[in-house]
A = this chain, B = another copy of it.
Amino acid sequence: MSPTPSTTQRALLGLLSIRPWTAYDLTRQMRRALRWAWPRSEANLYNEVKRLVPHGLATAVEEETGGRSRTRYEVTDRGREEVSAWLESQPPAPPQVELEALLRLFLADQGTVDQLRRTIAETRRQMLERVEEGVVIAEDYLHDPPFPDRAHLNVLFMHFSAGFVRLMLTWCDDVEAEIDTWPGTATGVGLTPGTRAMLEETLAYYLATLDQHARARGAT
C-alpha cells in the first residue's frame, strides 16, 4: 500500500525533520539550497508534500493568514523513522549530471563554431548567476547564520556547490581557449596540440588516482 517513498519525498521529509514548514517555504528551501543536490520543479513539490500525509509520514494543518489559507506541514514519528531507515540503507544513487551545453559540444560538428561559442557564453552567464546567489548565502553564514547548529553541514554542502561552479567556469575557459584555435567545428581539425595535451593530462591523472587508491587499499 505504501511503496517506499521517492527520493524527492525523502528530501522533503528530511527538511520537515529539521522543523515544520509551509508548502511555500519548502519550495523556497528546495530552490535556495537543495537545487544543488536534488532539483525539482515547484509544482511537483507542492504535490509530493501533500502525498506524504495519506502515508502517515507527515501531518498538515490549514492556517488562515488574512485572506488565503496555507498549509503547514509537520513530520510524524513514522516520517522520522523513514528518514533514518533511508540514511542507513546502502547505497546512494550514483551522481548524475544533466548538461545540455556539454551535449551541444559533443555534437558541435553539426553546427558552427559561433554557435558553440554562444553556448559556452550562456553557460558562463548561468554560473555567474549562481555565484551571485552564493555570495549572499555565504555572507549570511559568516555574519548571522540562519541555522547555526547546522552550519557545519551547510558549509560542507556549499563547499560542493562552489567546487562545481569553479569546475564549470574553468571548463568554459578551457573550451573557449581551445576553439579559438580551430578553423571550424568539423573540417579537418582532429586531435590538436591543445586537445592532445588535455588527453595526456587526463590519462595521467586517472592512472595516478587508480594507483593511489590501490596502494591505499593495500596498506590497510
Seen from chain A, the residues whose Cβ lies within 8 Å of a Cβ on chain B are 7, 10-11, 14-15, 17-18, 33-34, 36-39, 80, 83-84, 87-88, 90-112, 115, 118-119, 122-123, 126-128, 131-132, 134-135, 138-139, 141-142, 145, 148-160, 162-171, 174-175, 178, 182, 185-186, 188-192, 195-196, 198-200, 202-203, 205-207, 209-210, 213
Q: Contacts A167-B163, A191-B151: A106 and B34 contacting too (C-beta < 8 A)?
A: yes
Q: Are A38 and B103 in contact (CB under 8 A)?
A: yes
24 pairs from A and B in contact (CB 8 Å cutoff): A11-B103, A14-B110, A17-B107, A17-B110, A33-B106, A36-B97, A37-B98, A37-B103, A38-B100, A38-B103, A87-B112, A91-B122, A92-B101, A93-B100, A96-B97, A97-B97, A98-B98, A138-B203, A152-B189, A152-B191, A162-B202, A162-B206, A163-B171, A165-B209
- Cβ of A128: which chain B residues have Cβ within 8 Å of it? 209-210, 213
Q: Are A139 and B93 in contact (CB under 8 A)?
A: no
- Cβ of A170: which chain B residues have Cβ within 8 Å of it? 163
Q: Are B189 and A102 in contact (CB under 8 A)?
A: no
Q: Contacts A95-B168, A156-B198, A164-B97: A88 and B108 contacting too (C-beta < 8 A)?
A: no
Q: Are A205 and B83 in contact (CB under 8 A)?
A: no
Interface pairs A-B: 9 shortest CB-CB: A87-B111, A14-B107, A37-B102, A155-B195, A92-B100, A151-B191, A138-B203, A162-B202, A96-B98
